[in-house]
Amino acid sequence: MEGDQTIYETLYICDPDVVYAKRLEGYLNRKTAFTYPVRAFFGLDAFADHLKAAVKEKRPLTALISEGAYGQIGAYDAFSGRDIRWVVLAENPGSVPGAIRVDKYQSAGKLCGRLMDLLKPGENGAGAAVTGIYPLTSPRRAMDWARNYFGQDDRKRRLWIVLEELADLDWMADHTGMSEIFYRIPREGGEAMEAVSLSDHIVSGEYADRLPGFMTAYDMTETTPAQWTLFFRDILGKSGYEEVLLVFQRLPLYPEIFRFLDRMIVFSGTDRDSKEQTRRFRQLIRYIGLDGLEEKIAWQTGNGQEMQ
Give the pLDDT confidence of 122-139 residue by residue, as tens digits: 443 456 789 999 888 777
Average pLDDT score over the chain: 78
Q: pLDDT digit string (tens) for 167-206?
A: 555 555 566 788 888 888 888 766 545 567 677 777 766 6
Give the contacts of 156 (CB within 8 A, at least 6 positions apart): 33, 35, 242, 243
Using an 8 Å Cβ cutoff, are 159 and 203 in contact? no
Ordered by where they begin, the domains of the chain are 10-119 (3.40.50.10850), 129-300 (3.40.50.300)
* Closest C-alpha among 259, 173, 252, 241 to residue 212: 173
> What whole-number distance in Å separates Cα of residue 30 and Cα of residue 26?
6
- Other CB atoms within 10 Å distance of the CB of residue 274: 16
Given pLDDT bands bounded at 50, 70 and 90, which one contains residue 274?
confident
Q: Quick one: which of 43, 37, 41, 116 has its CA closest to 73? A: 43
Angle between helices 18-30 and 108-119 (to 10 degrees): 70
